[in-house]
Amino acid sequence: MTSPYSKVVPESAEHDDSDTESAPFEENIRCSTFWTRLLSKIKALRWPVTFLLLCANLLCELSVLRRQPSILPIGAELNGLVPRFSQEYKRFRDHGLYASDHKTMESTNATKRNWEDLMPIGGGFIDVQDYAAYTLPPPQHYEETPGKEVFTIAVFHELHCLMHMTSYMDKLILQIRNKDWKIDEHALEHNDHCINYLHNAILCCGDTTLEGQSQVDTMGTDGTGAVHICRNYDEISAWAFARRLTEGKESL
Q: Is 171 in the same domain as 51?
A: no
Among 64-73, 158-167, 242-251, whose mean pLDDT is lowest? 64-73
CA–CA gap between residue 87 and residue 229 (Å, rounded): 7
Among 10-24, 41-55, 134-148, whose mean pLDDT is lowest? 10-24
The total number of structural domains that make up the chain = 2
pLDDT in tens, 187-224: 999 999 999 999 999 999 999 999 999 877 788 999 99
Q: Is 235 in the same domain as 156?
A: yes
Quick one: pLDDT at residue 19?
47
More confident residue, 119 or 22: 119
Q: Is residue 166 part of a domain?
A: yes
Q: Is 97 in the same domain as 205?
A: yes
Q: Is 152 in the same domain as 232?
A: yes
Q: Is residue 6 part of a domain?
A: no
Q: Percentage of the chain with pLDDT > 70?
A: 79
Which residue range(s) make up the domain with 222?
A: 87-242
Segment 17-37 mean pLDDT? 57
Q: Is residue 7 part of a domain?
A: no
CA–CA gap between residue 22 and residue 117 (Å, rounded): 106
Q: Is residue 170 part of a domain?
A: yes
Q: Is residue 82 part of a domain?
A: no
Q: Is residue 73 part of a domain?
A: no
Q: Is 135 in the same domain as 232?
A: yes
pLDDT of 41 above 80: no
Q: Is 52 in the same domain as 147?
A: no
More confident residue, 15 or 114: 114
Q: Is 217 in the same domain as 152?
A: yes
Q: Is 63 in the same domain as 107?
A: no
Q: Is 36 in the same domain as 120?
A: no
Q: Is residue 79 part of a domain?
A: no
The pTM score is 0.72
CA–CA gap between residue 175 and residue 188 (Å, rounded): 14
Quick one: pLDDT at residue 31?
59
Q: Is 33 in the same domain as 98?
A: no
More confident residue, 139 or 14: 139
Domain boundary pick from 67, 102, 128: 67
Q: Is 169 in the same domain as 220?
A: yes
- Residues 110 and 100 sit within 8 Å (Cβ to Cβ): yes
CA–CA gap between residue 38 and residue 53 (Å, rounded): 21
Quick one: pLDDT at residue 10?
44
Quick one: pLDDT at residue 114?
96
Closest to 119 (Cα-Cα) out of 246, 241, 243, 245: 241
Q: Is residue 103 part of a domain?
A: yes
Q: Is 149 in the same domain as 210?
A: yes
Instruction: Give the helix/strand (H/E) hosting 154.
Output: helix 154-177
